[in-house]
């Protein structure tokens, strides 16, 4: 296999003092770290970095089978050298060799809009075309981060990996807003995918983009991430509109004969969609009928009334909804459903009254 190669020599007052914590950190993250003849080798999957302490500098050589892995390893080394360098110093890093010119991050794609379909009054499906989509075509990881350029910007500006191997974000006035969405449909061979956007009041960048979208508009996409469909004999799904795209995609891929129940909170009957699911699977729509999204206990009330026959095979509970319902469902899953539920994944997809940035910051704090 032909390997790509990148190298750098980073001036540091005490390079050994940076290399030590860097190696410890890599070991904690299950990278293979070894040392022989004064050369430290760190293995990242199929790529390998060799680090040598020289007087006043750390010399690094990376070999990787492709550009994505080369970039990933360069980023891992460069970002941790910066992190472990003495406070107040900013090590200058400049890679030479393959992939040294600024480029998009390896998991980043530019998508252009090819179609818009109004599924229901508040759900809009947007179809996109992009290149090299194979990594996003997985039921193990359904979600992506969308990078939505500010409205009215003539030419979108994307985050780039710079010559130092680090991520460079665009200046604030050009910086895309980042929002999490679910890939509803994907055909990687054809280079197409679809995402279903909830059109909601108090629209932030995600909902506003969906409302104003024009054919040919471009957004960025990074990922995929999140946990996907887990194998079980029975399923209990709970979702509001934001969890509906993930639920619908999972239902479509359940093996025939799988049993279970999906509870879906929507505004009213006009928001119902026709979903494909195994025969014998039940779907119950719960209507807010005029109440604001995120203000009802429809999902938790329905959950509290369920009776599950014991001993009928493993049960997996999956829920994605507004934060208040998420808390109730998670508590129920941990307490009174513990005996029946073999595994669960309960996720807060949005929080009433706060933007996704604030919501994500709160989640990080709680974690
Ligand atoms: C893993 C994951 C996958 C997701 N997948 C999807 C998806 O496929 N489709 C989808 O539409 N959403 C999805 N979401 C939810 C979506 O990311 C949030 O709703 C997000 O806040 C929308 O961003 P925004 O820019 O429109 O609003 P923000 O700027 O984040 O918020 C602005 C205001 O709108 C309110 N708000 C946000 N969402 C809603 C809503 N649904 N109803 C009413 N008010 C709201 C906020 O509370 C805030 O007051 C997903 C979230 C996660 C974590």
Which residues are paired to 39 by β-bridges?
Answer: 36, 52
Which residue among 208, 246, 349, 354 is best mutated to probe the pocket of ligand 1, counting the most ligand atoms within 8 A of its Cβ? 349
Report the nearest atom of ligand 1 relative to the CA of 225: 1
Question: Ligand 1 atom 39: the closest Cα is on which residue?
Answer: 200
Range of the domain at 115: 108-225
Whether residues 202 and 274 fall in one domain: no
pLDDT tens digits along 269-288? 999 999 999 998 999 999 99
pLDDT tens digits along 36-86? 999 999 998 899 999 999 999 999 999 999 988 999 999 999 999 999 998
Is the sign of the CA dihedral 74, 76, 79, 82 positive or negative?
negative
SS3 content of the chain, % helix, strand, coil (to 5): 25, 35, 40
Whether residues 188 and 76 fall in one domain: no
Residue with tokens 């026959």: 309
pLDDT tens digits along 18-48? 999 999 999 998 889 999 999 999 998 899 9
> Does residue 102 fall inside a structural domain?
no
The CB of 353 under 6 Å from ligand 1? The reply is yes
Whether residues 328 and 209 fall in one domain: no
pLDDT tens digits along 166-210? 999 999 999 999 999 999 999 999 999 999 999 999 999 999 999
The CB of 326 under 6 Å from ligand 1? The reply is no
Question: What strands, in cross-sheet order, belong to the sheet with 234-239?
Answer: 282-287, 259-266, 234-239, 315-322, 343-350
Q: In CATH, what number is assigned to the domain containing residue 124?
A: 2.40.30.10
Distance CA 75, CA 62 (A): 11
How many CA within 13 A on the CB side of residue 127? Answer: 11
Q: In CATH, what number is assigned to the domain containing residue 32?
A: 3.30.310.50
Question: Parallel, antiparallel, or unpaired for β 177-187 and 192-198?
Answer: antiparallel
Which residues are paired to 197 by β-bridges?
Answer: 124
Cα end-to-end distance, the chain, whole Å: 42
Counting residues of the chain whose pLDDT is more than 90, the rounded percentage is 79
Domain boundary among 66, 97, 128: 97
Which residue among 204, 296, 318 is best mutated to probe the pocket of ligand 1, counting the most ligand atoms within 8 A of its Cβ? 204
Helix axes 67-84, 15-28, angle to 10 degrees: 120
**CB neighbour list of residue 337: distance below 8 Å, 6 or more residues apart:** 303, 308, 317, 344
Domain boundary among 203, 225, 247: 225
Q: How many domains does the chain have?
A: 3
Whether residues 163 and 262 fall in one domain: no
Question: Ligand 1 atom 42: the closest Cα is on which residue?
Answer: 200
Sequence-ordered alpha helix ranges (H) in the chain? 15-28, 67-84, 205-212, 244-252, 298-304, 323-334, 356-366
Highest mean pLDDT among 82-96, 243-257, 299-313: 243-257
pLDDT for position 344: 86
pLDDT for position 333: 83
pLDDT tens digits along 312-350? 778 889 999 999 999 999 998 887 666 666 788 999 999
pLDDT for 301 beyond 90? yes
pLDDT for 230 beyond 80? yes
pLDDT for position 367: 75
pLDDT for position 338: 64
The CB of 352 under 6 Å from ligand 1? The reply is yes
Domain boundary among 57, 74, 97: 97
Q: In CATH, what number is assigned to the domain containing residue 327?
A: 3.40.50.80
Q: What is the DSSP string of 270-286?
A: GG-------TT-EEEEE
Closest by CA position to 229, among listed 210, 251, 213, 214: 251
Mean pLDDT, the chain, integer? 93
The mean pLDDT of 154-172, rounded to a whole number, is 93
CB 96 within 8 A of CB 6: yes
Of the listed ranges 88-102, 119-133, 207-221, the one predicted with least confidence: 88-102
pLDDT for position 90: 84
Whether residues 210 and 253 fall in one domain: no
């Amino acid at each position: 296999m032909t390997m790509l190669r990148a190298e750098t020599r980073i001036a540091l007052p005490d390079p050994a003092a940076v290399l030590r914590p860097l190696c410890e950190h890599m070991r904690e993250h299950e990278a293979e770290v070894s040392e022989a003849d004064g050369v430290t080798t760190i293995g990242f999957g199929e790529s390998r970095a060799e680090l040598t302490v020289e007087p006043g500098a750390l010399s690094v050589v990376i070999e990787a089978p492709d550009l994505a892995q080369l970039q990933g390893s360069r980023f891992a080394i460069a970002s941790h050298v910066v992190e472990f360098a003495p406070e107040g110093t900013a090590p200058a890093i400049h890679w030479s060799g393959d992939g040294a010119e600024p480029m998009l991050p390896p998991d980043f794609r530019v998508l252009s809009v090819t179609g818009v379909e109004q599924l229901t009054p508040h759900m809009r499906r947007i179809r996109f075309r992009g290149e090299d989509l194979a990594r996003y075509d997985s039921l193990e990881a359904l979600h992506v981060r969308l990078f939505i350029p500010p409205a009215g910007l003539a030419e979108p500006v994307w985050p780039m990996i710079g010559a130092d191997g680090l991520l460079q974000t665009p200046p604030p006035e050009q910086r895309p807003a980042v929002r999490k969405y679910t890939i509803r449909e994907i055909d990687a061979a054809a280079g197409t995918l679809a995402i279903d956007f909830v059109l909601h009041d108090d629209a932030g960048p995600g909902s506003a983009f969906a409302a104003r979208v024009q054919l040919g508009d471009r957004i960025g996409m990074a990922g995929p991430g999140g946990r996907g469909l887990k194998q079980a004999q029975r399923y209990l799904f709970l979702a509001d509109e934001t969890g509906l795209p993930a639920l619908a995609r999972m239902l479509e891929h359940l093996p025939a004969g799988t049993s279970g129940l999906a509870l879906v909170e929507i505004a009213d009957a006009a928001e119902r969609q026709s979903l494909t699911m195994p025969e014998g699977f039940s779907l119950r729509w719960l209507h807010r009928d005029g109440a604001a999204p995120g203000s009802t206990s429809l999902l938790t009330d329905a959950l509290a009334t369920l009776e599950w026959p014991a001993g009928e095979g493993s049960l997996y509970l999956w829920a994605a909804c507004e934060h208040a319902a998420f808390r109730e469902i998670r508590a129920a899953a941990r307490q009174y459903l513990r005996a029946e539920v073999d595994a669960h994944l309960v996720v807060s997809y949005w929080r009433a009254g706060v933007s996704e940035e604030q919501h994500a910051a709160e989640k990080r704090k709680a974690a």
